[in-house]
Amino acid sequence: MASLSDQLSRLVYSTEQGRVCPDCGQPQNQCRCEENKREQALSQVQGPVRLSLETKGRKGKGVTVVTGLVMPEEQLKALVKELKSACGAGGTLKEGTLEIQGDHRAVVQARLEHNGLTVKRVGRP
């Protein structure tokens, strides 16, 4: 528990900056505590992402499939857009599953790991 002097030194309002966040000490309009808490909650829920190549039902054409992503819909759309441009291929988002046309497992894995996700390859090498 914080001592009495620590509790008294917590700034809640400043005449120069206005209201101040008690957690980070930043002005209220610049505080990012809520965003950080949401990101930490998502990262704790997020398990390893599964990366595979599927050809069934696609007339022999391969599709790189990413499953197991736990993100809001808008973040998934931004991620699929980033992956499509990185691979130079088409793709889509179906029911929380990302599909990129062609065998781009290496590029997709590198991009996902760069974004801080744990990637597990599933299926054939």
117 within some domain: yes
**Count of C-beta atoms within a 10 Å radius of residue 108:** 22
CA atoms within a 13 Å half-sphere pointing along the CA-CB vector of 87: 26
**53 is in which domain, residue-wise?**
46-121
Q: What are phi and psi of 99, to 5 degrees?
A: -125, 125
Per-residue tens of pLDDT for the chain, all 125 residues = 455 445 445 655 656 667 777 777 777 777 877 777 766 665 556 778 999 999 888 888 899 999 998 888 888 899 999 999 999 999 999 988 999 999 999 999 999 998 888 899 998 77
87 within some domain: yes
Q: Are residues 51 and 110 in the same domain?
A: yes
**Taking the model in full, what pTM does it have?**
0.62
Q: How many domains does the chain have?
A: 2
